[in-house]
Chain A
Amino acid sequence: MKTQLTHIPGKPRIKAPGAPEVRVKILNAESVAEIQKQMVRFPIRRSAILPAITVANRQLGYLSAEVYEEISEITEIPVSQIAEAASFYTLFPKKPRGKYLIMVCDNISCALCGADAMIKYLEMKLGIKRGETTEDNLFTLGTAECLAGCSAAPMMQVNDRYYENLTPAKVDKLLEELKSKE
């Protein structure tokens, strides 16, 4: 899709003389290509920050200062602007997490339908507290604020999928399924 209408190229980053070259090492070729594609979609380049960090997060599962440097290298957007935006949003974890990120909504509508009990059940099943990762690095358990699944409460998000109308039996089945994939 071509959406370049009033593209004003951003100013290239000025490197101090003798500053070391940052080479892209962490991000793979696919992510780099995707970020480059995002760069020309918007009237101003800075709008590509959020899409770029989303791409990086999809590949790595979390962000770090090194990743900001690399995005900056690719997009020529100052690294401060990238870090500034990335640190604001909850969807971009700053430390590694398990393969499956389980986010259980514990906001009002879900809470009224037993979300707290569901979180406790998951803590017991996985043997971890919320905010922790299992030893095999498979599951990270967390709570989320409203995920707009309120009419099918309680609900949770596991990576990119929603699981609604949760019951202990459904949770058991899902955990078994995910474990058996390993």
Chain B
Amino acid sequence: MAEYKLLFRNIDEPDQHTVKGYESRRGYIAWRKALTSMKPDEVIAEVKTSGLRGRGGAGFPTGVKWSFVPKDSPKPRYLICNADESEPGTCKDRVLLERDPHAMIEGMAIGSFAIGSHLAFVYIRGEFDYSIAIVEKAVEDAYKAGHLGKNIYGTGYDLEMIVYTGGGAYICGEETALINSLAGERGMSSMRPPFPAIEGLYGCPTIVNNVETLACVPHIINRGGEWHKKIGTEKSPGTKLFSLTGHVNRPGNYEVELGTPLSYLINELGGGIKDGNKLKAVIPGGASCPFLSADQVDTPLDFEAMAEAGSMLGSGAVIVMDERTDIAWVTYKLIKFFKHESCGKCTPCREGTKWLTMMIERILRGDGKEGDLDKIADVCDNILGRTICPLGDAAVMPIISVLQKFRGDFEKHIKGKKKIEMEQFSFA
């Protein structure tokens, strides 16, 4: 298993972001095929066969998610593309948005047809000014070319698409928070059930999919679910985009077959560790995933193998740390992020992330006390599984893993009173 360019096949073409360029490379053929020759159920069945799993982090089977939308509901249905990419270390969706936006639009159109939606949203994070401009232009061009709008391809099917920009909140990448944000409320998550597929945006059935997930859909419709299932591993089929960052020689976004060993990504594609240093730790799926130690570097990059290794595939943000890295300092950077981004709805997350930040900061200042690490573990335990949305879990899972694997890094600060110069960090 190695590099496999499916979504990234055309991103280096200079005109791929235009509707003409996209059409010239078999673009919108899948949308036409789905709309003119398939029934919505057939589209869902094809995606189910493909085994495609959500690429935003949770890895839920996309076809199954789509099939949850009630068929007999008289309410309108909505499809939302989650382009609120903000998991620390993740920068893959931005590449798709800027260089191949029509792949996402086509995937959204097919998905909307499958669930019977006539209004789709692209929820893009507000900081992406450049991406927003590209996507807005792409949607406008797709309308002009007849791929969106009224009576598409003469079938009588209408589909409208709105580009919606967020206000800068990590939590809005969580689907219920995103839906609340889109409805004009504060971007706070809601209790599930009811799941958005039953009761989502404006109380209507809603499907939220990641950019990368939707960009896979046209390929599946073009070549069939069976074809897609053959790529990758049995339970994690397909390719996946990985953002390789940190201490590597060639950081960047790479597309590999699922099941490719992590070491291949770091050493072959990323050119190994910077300055010839040794590897110390890797976060395989973004800031919410538990750390892997250097001896786990051969773990295959797929959902099952990562879970077995005690971590998660997450959003595919591979953050590499070399031997000189102080993991206690890294943990501080992570927890201060979650403290900043906690929406404040659930007490364990709101208060817990704040106390964790303060405790870890104190340890780094050289004022750590005996028993601090147990107290941190205790706070983590009181957050884990006790919040409405996964942000609470995401905040503490990496900490729990570093307390097991890199406890020495913290003890160095506590016992040796090793000091790090701390900066005032907050600015809102």
Using Cβ atoms and an 8 Å threshold, which residues of chain A touch B128? 148
Q: Closest B-chain residue to A129, C-beta based?
A: B424
Could you tell me the distance between the alpha carbons of A49 and B184 in the complex, rounded to whole angstroms?
Answer: 5
Contact indicator per residue, chain B 160-179, by CB within 8 Å of chain A (1) or not (0): 11101111111000000000
**Which of A1, A48, A143 lies at the interface centre, i.e. has the most chain B CB atoms within 10 A of its CB?**
A1
Residues of chain A with a CB closer than 8 A to B165's CB: 50-51, 54
CB pair B287 A108 closer than 8 Å: yes
Is A6 in contact with chain B by the CB < 8 A criterion? Answer: yes
Contact of B185 among A46, A91, A129 (CB under 8 A): A46
Q: Is A142 an interface residue (CB 8 A)?
A: yes
What would 5 more interface pairs be, CB under 8 Å, given A46-B183, A47-B183, A50-B165? Answer: A44-B184, A107-B89, A113-B246, A130-B425, A145-B340
* Bitwise interface map of B from 240 to 270 toward A, beta carbon under 8 Å scored 1, else 0: 0001111100011100000000000000000
Of all chain B residues, which has the CB nearest A159?
B129
B189 CB–A CB distance under 8 Å? no
Chain B residues near A91 (CB-CB < 8 A): 126-127, 166-168
A96 to chain B, nearest CB (A): 14
Stretch at the interface among A15-23, A26-34, A149-157: A149-157
Contact: B251 with A152, CB < 8 Å?
yes
Contact of A162 among B130, B183, B425, B426 (CB under 8 A): B130
For A2, A108, A116, which residue has the most chain B Cβ atoms within 10 angstroms?
Answer: A108
CB <8 Å contact, B428 and A90: yes
Interface centre among A77, A130, A147, A160 (most CB of B within 10 A): A147
Instruction: Say whether B337 contacts A150, CB under 8 Å.
Output: no
**A50 to B245, Cβ gap below 8 A?**
no
Q: Does B227 belong to the interface (CB within 8 Å)?
A: no
Spell out B's residues near A (CB within 8 Å). 76, 85-91, 93-94, 118-119, 125-130, 139-140, 143, 160-162, 164-170, 181-188, 202, 243-247, 251-253, 283, 287, 317, 319, 321, 325, 330, 333-334, 337, 340-341, 343, 423-428
With both chains docked as a complex, state the minimum distance between the C-beta of A24 and any C-beta of chain B, in angstroms. Answer: 20
Residues of A within 8 A of B (CB): 1-3, 5-6, 41-51, 53-54, 77, 81, 84-86, 88-93, 106-109, 111-113, 116, 119, 129-131, 142-153, 157, 160-162
Out of B88, B160, B162, B187, name the residue touching A109 (CB < 8 Å). B88
Verify B119–A43 contact, CB threshold 8 A. yes
| Alpha-carbon separation in the docked complex, A89 to B341 (Å) | 10
* CB < 8 Å neighbour of A161 from B129, B247, B317, B325: B129
Residue of B nearest to A91 (CB): B168
Q: A47-B182, A54-B165, A150-B243 are in contact. Are A106 and B425 (CB under 8 A)?
A: yes
Compute how far the CA of A62 lies from the CA of B170 in the bound complex, rounded to whole angstroms: 21
